[in-house]
Structure 1
């Protein structure tokens, strides 16, 4: 990473306020890393002209997202029919130490799982009780949860949704919430 960071800084310094071409990038790259034998093996034609994804595959650590998806699946499979059955063994500790991104991933994945059959309002209330989803000021978390709760016709969140719609200025949150509210019986 450090070698590429240094290269990138040098590249920006060299080409600031200039026109940049693919060939210019390749030449600068080859000159900068001339002492690295791996550079001679780069297939520039494939990188530049071949259709599809780049010719390398990266493996990423997905353990954090896997935790979020597993919890979403646990909530989903406990009540596939949407009749209000709570999953076994859930607790506040489920999301303890999670970043806001993980919580959002959990809620969004749960929303995907529940797209055909919304959650029961009892379960959205359980989410609030267990995970304190109404206590957070994080707009990403609130928005993701409110979409689930509106689909579940959970009237207990309606004042919170209306407050967010009145105070949040970003369309990123407003448009999906207005759409979810309009689709619900509460929004008619």
Structure 2
């Protein structure tokens, strides 16, 4: 009700809230029967361009390169365009674009050179699915210079699932694991099947093992004893 009071105080009588059925929206079960009438002007242009590129790919490039100028588009329009291409490939019966198409797209729009992470992330996903080998250094540079799991994990998974990027994904992750957040590193390690620890990293138990002559069981015992000593000292201080 506070929301209703706020809106009614914000809008003048006769504005957008005229005739609004509050009881229906607040108390009727299920989804609203009347879908909001959104302005799809911007998204429609993006979806149309995506459809044009998909048709261009299906024709083997015979229909002519789509000529829409996107230089004036905002980021959301560009990501909507790329998302539409990704969604079409994921649908039943859909398939990734050919590498010749993604290379032509990059030639027209320069996606591989963009500094916008949202755009580069999506284009890398499209190009990897197309097995475009020339995108590999771009993608590897991207996933080793950003740390957000929303970018890093999906691209590692896509590379690992591809023919041209599987080995590179594993090698790159092993070499760069320490730069990622621990949770991201653990998730990617699971995706790539490289275990919980990176190659060459022994963890705390391994480090202690060196101290006790390479015996990891003894190292664990040393660690437990150390914790016990700390706890005992803490209890003694409290008693004082």
So what's the TM-score if we normalise by structure 1?
0.73
Structure 1: state its 5+ residue gaps.
1-21
* Unmatched segments (≥5 aa) in structure 2: 167-240
Closer, same or farther: CA 42–78 of 1 in aligned 2, 3 Å: closer
Say whether residues 1:88 and 2:79 are aligned partners.
Answer: no
What is the rounded CA distance, in whole Å, between the counterparts of 1:178 and 1:138 in structure 2?
A: 19
1:80 is displaced (CA, Å) by: 2.8
Q: Which runs of 4+ in 1 moved over 6 A?
A: 37-40
What are the superposed Cα offsets for residues 113-147 of structure 1, whole Å, 9 maximum, x if unpaired? Answer: 23331111111110110001112100000001000
Map of 2:88 onto structure 1: 113
Indicate how the Cα distance of structure 1 residues 53 and 135 shifts in structure 2: closer, same or farther if over 3 A, else same: same
Report if the CA contact (8 A) 2:56-2:65 is conserved: no
| Alignment partners' CA distance in 1, 2:20 and 2:156 | 49
**Matches of 2:134 and 2:22, distance apart in 1:** 58
Please state whether the residue corresponding to 1:123 is helix, strand or coil: helix
Contact 2:42 2:77 (8 Å CA) reproduced: yes
The higher radius of gyration belongs to 2
Which of 1 and 2 has higher RCO (CA within 8 Å, sep 6+)? 1
Q: Deviations over 1:56-77 (max 9, x none)?
A: 6432221111111111101112
Shift of 1:36: 3.7
Kindly state the Cα deviation for residue 51 of structure 1 after the two structures are TM-superposed: 2.0
**Does the aligned pair in 1 maintain the 2:136–2:165 contact within 8 Å?**
no
- The answer for the alignment partner of 1:103 in structure 2 is 78
Contact 1:121/1:152 (<8 A) preserved: yes
1:139 equivalent in structure 2:
117
How is 1:163-182 mapped onto 2 (pairs within 5 angstroms)? 163-182=141-160
Compute the TM-score of the two structures, normalised by the length of structure 2: 0.58
Q: Is the 8 A contact 1:133 1:145 kept in 2?
A: yes
Residues 16-63 of structure 1 show CA distances to partners (whole Å, capped at 9, x for unaligned) of xxxxxx4x555x459848x94787955433222212334664322211
The secondary structure found in structure 2 opposite 1:109 is helix
